[in-house]
């Protein structure tokens, strides 16, 4: 299952993401991973969450992010939740809809939840993303 938290800058996306992360840590029976763009959440996320800076790993395209998430899962089958902050800053917005479709299939196939934030007006979201908002 995937969730997309979408809104314009300053609309409270990060607060919603942090609330979701804290809920996942409290309820999860597995590991929680948060992929962020830059080190902005370091002091907001509990030490129980594996916090990963996508910049440190040079993730710049949808294919790289897919490979990274697949590698995380291959190395740790106990991951139950993956959170991605600022998806479009990480991979660009050109392939956002295609990445969301891949994430939905990957999450369903591997019994995990993926939640991501996207800085864009929800009214202008493509249909492939709107269904997960």
Residue 117 falls inside a structural domain: no
The Cα 84–Cα 52 span in angstroms is: 9
Whole-model pTM: value is: 0.94
Residue 120 falls inside a structural domain: no
Contact 85, 41 (CB under 8 A): yes
Give me the domain span that covers residue 68. Answer: 2-112
The DSSP secondary-structure symbol of 112 reads: -
Digit-coded pLDDT (tens) for 99-125: 999 999 999 999 999 999 999 999 998
Confidence at 94, pLDDT banded by 50, 70, 90: confident
Residue 126 falls inside a structural domain: no
Digit-coded pLDDT (tens) for 36-77: 999 999 999 999 999 999 999 999 999 999 999 999 999 999
- Positive or negative CA dihedral for 38, 65, 6, 123? positive
pLDDT over 90 at 95, yes or no: no
Residue 127 falls inside a structural domain: no
Question: Kind and range of the H or E element at 2?
Answer: strand 2-7
SS3 content of the chain, % helix, strand, coil (to 5): 40, 25, 35
How many domains is the chain built from? 1
């Amino acid at each position: 299952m995937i969730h997309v938290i979408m809104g314009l800058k300053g609309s409270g996306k990060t607060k919603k993401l942090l609330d979701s992360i804290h809920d996942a840590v409290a309820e999860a029976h597995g590991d929680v991973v948060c992929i962020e763009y830059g080190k902005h959440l370091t002091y907001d996320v509990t030490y129980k969450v594996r916090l990963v800076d996508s910049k440190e790993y040079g993730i710049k395209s949808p294919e790289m992010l897919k490979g990274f998430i697949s590698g995380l899962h291959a190395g740790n089958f106990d991951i139950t939740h993956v959170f991605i902050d600022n998806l479009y800053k990480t991979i660009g917005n050109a392939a956002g809809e295609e990445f969301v479709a891949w994430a939905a299939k990957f999450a369903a196939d591997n019994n995990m939840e993926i939640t991501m934030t996207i800085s864009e007006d929800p009214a202008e979201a493509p249909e492939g993303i709107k269904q997960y908002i």
